[in-house]
Chain A
Amino acid sequence: MNYFLTEEQQIIKELSGKIADEKIAPRAAEFDEAEEFPWDLIKILAESDLFAVWVPEEYGGLGGGVFEQCLVVEELSRACAAVAVSYAASALGGFPILLFGTDEQKQKFMPDIASGSKLAAFALTEPDAGSDAGNIRTTATRNEDHYVLNGTKQWITNGGEADIYTVIATMNPEKGPRGMTAFIVEKGTPGFDFGKKEKKMGIRSSSTRELIFKDCKVPACNLLDREGKGFLIAMRTLDRTRPGVAAQAVGIAQGALDKAAEYATTRVQFGKKIGEFQAIEHMLADMATQIEAARSLVYNVAWMIDAGERNISKASAMAKLFASDVAMKVTCDAVQIFGGYGYMRDYPVEKMMRDAKITQIYEGTNQIQRSIIGSAVVKEALRHK
């Protein structure tokens, strides 16, 4: 498929792909096994300007948008979804500042995020607030020129490694979503600490950690937008970053297909290359078709967002839902094509299948995506009555 990328988009895609193939792929298994944060690789991404693609030029970026961000995530994910999510989570932490920050806040934080000299992270989830994000218990109270945060955030990607955190807390739990407020919290702020590092099924070299706030004093100038806007900020941010998860899913699936197709042309059984058996051929055909359909949807949603369309929740949810289900199916099939070898850690598809699962879960489970899409469809039907 030709998606008619601009010259700059082509450069972004090619360079991300080169880094994925030459620098990330050879080390993906090693980092996965060690469950070690891939700082060496993150540094290469930073030096190559990849963190800058979605940041406006006035804040040290290259002036691209969600689409460019998706191109990078997709390419990196072909080689390693854990490196890709560490990269993407920095955008997830940075988008709230870009979308809702004051010029001063943007001037202060965005250039470091764009250069990759600092990673960002986004902290919404808590032990009792997953899909039910309105149920968070981390509190913020105003005290003269600062806010005091107390509580624990759970499963925060880039936790401990990032320097800049967008944290959603509640100033009034009884008000639910309308009581929620967003803050920028810097690593090193007294009262801000890190808890347990999770051991995961997939994306194992990425960092997933608890954030612990104990009377953490956050300066009032780090308030994002206004008090009570936290839930809206979180939802608007996720609308923009879901295509990134979708692009990650497309990349994982493409990586798995590439490996499976290559294997099918070398593995001989019954005196034939297994790719010559129709059973395998048809599997490859379905995998390729599903990936291309997912990619087309993701690219179109990203374009739509960058073009300034305001009503993006439904489309964004569709891209995430469809692409992540495709990634799960395609990676399962890739393991199947590899047979017993596919089940072994010596071959890369086993990791891809483990990595794919998270794309159906994080940034909103696929059940939540279906609820977003479904309620939008019903609303549209009612409007047309």
Chain B
Amino acid sequence: MNLVVLIKQVPDTTDVKIDRNTNTLIREGVSSIVNPFDMYAVEQALQIRDEHGGKITCITMGPPQAETALRETLALGVDETILLSDRAFAGADTLATSYTLAKAISELGEFDLIICGKQAIDGDTAQVGPGIAEHLDIPHVTYVSKVEEIANRHIHVRRMTEEGYDVIASSLPALITVVKEIGEPRMPSIRGTIKARKASITTWTAKDLKINEEMVGLSGSPTQVMRIFAPEIRPGGEIIEGDSPAEKAKNLISRLKESHIL
């Protein structure tokens, strides 16, 4: 199995400041972690490799310091990592990000399964995974809680729904995004950590990818952030009391009349 895991480095806290001019996060001075949902993606990949063998390549797009996120996955046992880092990629929305990541995956060559976390805890869009699948023209399944079987170039998974789960089969190659139910991420090992500290991280820039430069970074991003604000807290609703449904209805009508709604 050739597995590709996509991760994102995110701020370690929800208490981050926002640049009022650009309406983007101020990342300076905030410590970074691997997006927690992406750690489940790494764990899922390791579980599949434990069972089927193969190779795991972990990719992230971000500033040079995103390298530390990749090293964390190396310590867990990921085989290879690639950092996509270029000023041209900066300011990308989910469309440009998924385009760039899809191009990087194409550059890697053959792959069987791409695994992403269900969403990043900073943007919360959950769009990049499916976006990559569309750019690569492969099937995708979101919110996967369990990989049941991989056989005959097919994958059987459970997709979490609000009521329970769907069982879905897909041909490979495919992309899945995983939820935390797939299993608690394992701890790194000492050998893995030592190896990860010494590893050299491959970095690809825009020039290394066969891309249309108009489609990456800010210029490839149709999404414009107009304003970021905390939603106003709405006062709680009012429960109309009454001894019977008929009386409640009567009380409701009179309240609406009092408020000049009726």
Q: A7-B197, A11-B197 are in contact. Are A50 and B186 (CB under 8 A)?
A: no
Closest chain B residue to A45, Cβ basis: B187
Interface string of A11-44 (1 = CB under 8 A from B): 1100100110011000000000000000000001
Interface string of B183-206 (1 = CB under 8 A from A): 000111111011001000000000
Closest chain B residue to A52, Cβ basis: B190
Taking the closest CB of chain B, its distance from the CB of A74, in whole angstroms, is: 16
Closest chain A residue to B198, Cβ basis: A7
| Most chain A CB atoms below 10 A, which of B188, B190, B193, B194 | B190
A50 touches B197 (CB 8 A): no
Taking the closest CB of chain B, its distance from the CB of A202, in whole angstroms, is: 26
B187 touches A15 (CB 8 A): yes
Contacts of A22 in B (CB 8 A): 187
Contacts of A11 in B (CB 8 A): 190, 193-194, 197
Chain B contacts with A in 152-202, Cβ cutoff 8 A: 186-191, 193-194, 197
| Cα–Cα, bound, A50→B187 (Å) | 11
Taking the closest CB of chain B, its distance from the CB of A314, in whole angstroms, is: 32
A62 touches B187 (CB 8 A): no
The answer, among A7, A23, A47, for a CB contact under 8 Å with B189, is A47
Taking the closest CB of chain B, its distance from the CB of A47, in whole angstroms, is: 6
| Cα–Cα, bound, A47→B188 (Å) | 8
A53 within 8 A of B: yes
* B interface residues, tally (CB under 8 Å): 9
Closest chain A residue to B184, Cβ basis: A23
A300 within 8 A of B: no
Contacts of B187 in A (CB 8 A): 15, 18-19, 22-23, 44, 47-48
A49 within 8 A of B: yes
| Cα–Cα, bound, A7→B193 (Å) | 11
| Cα–Cα, bound, A23→B191 (Å) | 19
Taking the closest CB of chain A, its distance from the CB of B17, in whole angstroms, is: 27
Taking the closest CB of chain B, its distance from the CB of A70, in whole angstroms, is: 15
Q: A7-B197, A11-B197 are in contact. Are A53 and B186 (CB under 8 A)?
A: no
User: Could you tell me which A residues sit within 8 Å of B by CB distance?
Assistant: 7-8, 11-12, 15, 18-19, 22-23, 44, 47-50, 52-53, 62
| Cα–Cα, bound, A352→B127 (Å) | 48
Contacts of A53 in B (CB 8 A): 190
Interface of A: prevailing SS: helix
| Cα–Cα, bound, A44→B189 (Å) | 9
User: Could you tell me which B residues sit within 8 Å of A by CB distance?
Assistant: 186-191, 193-194, 197
B197 touches A62 (CB 8 A): no
Q: A7-B197, A11-B197 are in contact. Are A62 and B186 (CB under 8 A)?
A: no
B197 touches A48 (CB 8 A): no
Contacts of B191 in A (CB 8 A): 49, 52, 62
Closest chain A residue to B190, Cβ basis: A49
* Chain A to chain B: the 6 pairs with minimum beta-carbon distance, closest first: A49-B190, A49-B189, A48-B189, A11-B193, A48-B187, A49-B191
A15 touches B193 (CB 8 A): yes
| Cα–Cα, bound, A8→B193 (Å) | 9
A15 touches B197 (CB 8 A): no
| Cα–Cα, bound, A50→B194 (Å) | 13
Contacts of B189 in A (CB 8 A): 15, 47-49
Closest chain B residue to A53, Cβ basis: B190
Contacts of B190 in A (CB 8 A): 8, 11-12, 15, 48-50, 52-53, 62
Taking the closest CB of chain B, its distance from the CB of A16, in whole angstroms, is: 9
Taking the closest CB of chain B, its distance from the CB of A68, in whole angstroms, is: 9
Contacts of B186 in A (CB 8 A): 47
| Most chain B CB atoms below 10 A, which of A8, A15, A53 | A15
| Cα–Cα, bound, A47→B190 (Å) | 9
A-B contact pairs, 30 of them (CB 8 A): A7-B197, A8-B190, A8-B194, A11-B193, A11-B194, A11-B197, A12-B190, A15-B187, A15-B188, A15-B189, A15-B190, A15-B193, A18-B187, A22-B187, A23-B187, A44-B187, A47-B186, A48-B187, A48-B188, A48-B189, A48-B190, A49-B189, A49-B190, A49-B191, A50-B190, A52-B190, A52-B191, A53-B190, A62-B190, A62-B191
Given contacts A15-B193, A19-B187, 9 further A-B contacts (CB under 8 A): A12-B190, A15-B187, A15-B189, A22-B187, A48-B187, A49-B189, A49-B191, A52-B190, A53-B190
Taking the closest CB of chain B, its distance from the CB of A71, in whole angstroms, is: 11
| Cα–Cα, bound, A22→B39 (Å) | 15
Closest chain A residue to B186, Cβ basis: A47
Taking the closest CB of chain B, its distance from the CB of A46, in whole angstroms, is: 10
